[in-house]
Structure 1
Amino acid sequence: MSTQELTKFTESINSKVEEGFVLEERNDALPFAVLSKKPRRVNHQLNFKLSCITLGAWSLVWLYQSYISKARKIVVGLDEDGNVFQENCYMG
C-alpha cells in the first residue's frame, strides 16, 4: 500500500469523524476502519403536538427524524485498486 493510498484512506476517515462518527477500530494492515454514530434524540411529544396542529402534515417530518436518528455503523476501507469504499454495517 502506497503512502498516497494511505493518505486517501485517512482523509476519508477524518471526513466521517467530522460528520459525527466515532472511530471504533482501525487496521492499517488490511486496511479498514469501523465507525459508529450514536442515535440522536427525537422529542416525540413535541412532534405529536405539531402533527396534531398541522392535521398530520408534520408526521412526515417526524417519520424522517425518527428514521435518521437511529444508530449507524459503517466500514471504510481500500479495495485492491486503492479506491476508498464505504459500506453500512447492519446491526441486528
Structure 2
Amino acid sequence: MKSKTCTIDEDMIKFSSILDDKTSNGFIVLERNDKLPYAVLLKKRQKVDHVFNFCIFCVTLGLWSIAWIYITQVSSKAKKILIAIDEDGNAFEENCYMG
C-alpha cells in the first residue's frame, strides 16, 4: 500500500513540475484536476508588429519574408494544450482544438 502512495506522490510532483514549466513559458491554467491529474492550459495570441517586420524585410532585401510569414501564421496563434498523467505515471501533452 505504501508503494502506491509513493508513486502517487511522485506522479503529482512530476505533474506540478510540468505545470510550473509551462506557466513560466507563458501558459495560463484554464482548468486543473488533481484527482485524475490533468490540466488544460492556454497561451494567448501574440500581436505581430508588421511595421517593424516590414523594415527588416526591406533591409534584408526580402529574405525576412520567410520568417515574417512563419511569425504571422504559426508563432502568433493562440495555443491550447492538455497535460495529464496516465495510469502508468507517464506524462503526456496533447493539442486541444481551438474552435
Per the normalisation by structure 1, the TM-score is 0.90
Give identity over the alignment, percent: 49
Cα separation, 2, equivalents of 1:11 and 1:28: 13
Choose between structure 1 and 2: higher helix proportion. Answer: 2
Q: Which has the higher contact order (CA 8 A, sep 6+)?
A: 1
Per-residue deviation, 1:90: 2.2
Q: CA RMSD in A?
A: 1.4
Q: Which has the larger radius of gyration?
A: 2
Q: Find the partner of 1:77 among 54, 63, 84.
A: 84
The residue number in structure 2 matching 1:58 is 64
Segments of 4+ in structure 1 off by > 2 A? 52-55
Per the normalisation by structure 2, the TM-score is 0.84
Per-residue deviation, 1:69: 1.2
Residues 20-55 of structure 1, C-alpha deviation per residue, up to 9 Å, x if partnerless?
Answer: 111111011221100001111111122123223322
> Superposed, which structure 2 residues align to 1:6-45 within 5 Å?
6-45=12-51
Counting matched residue pairs gives 92
In structure 1, the gaps of 5 or more residues are none
AA aligned opposite 1:24: L
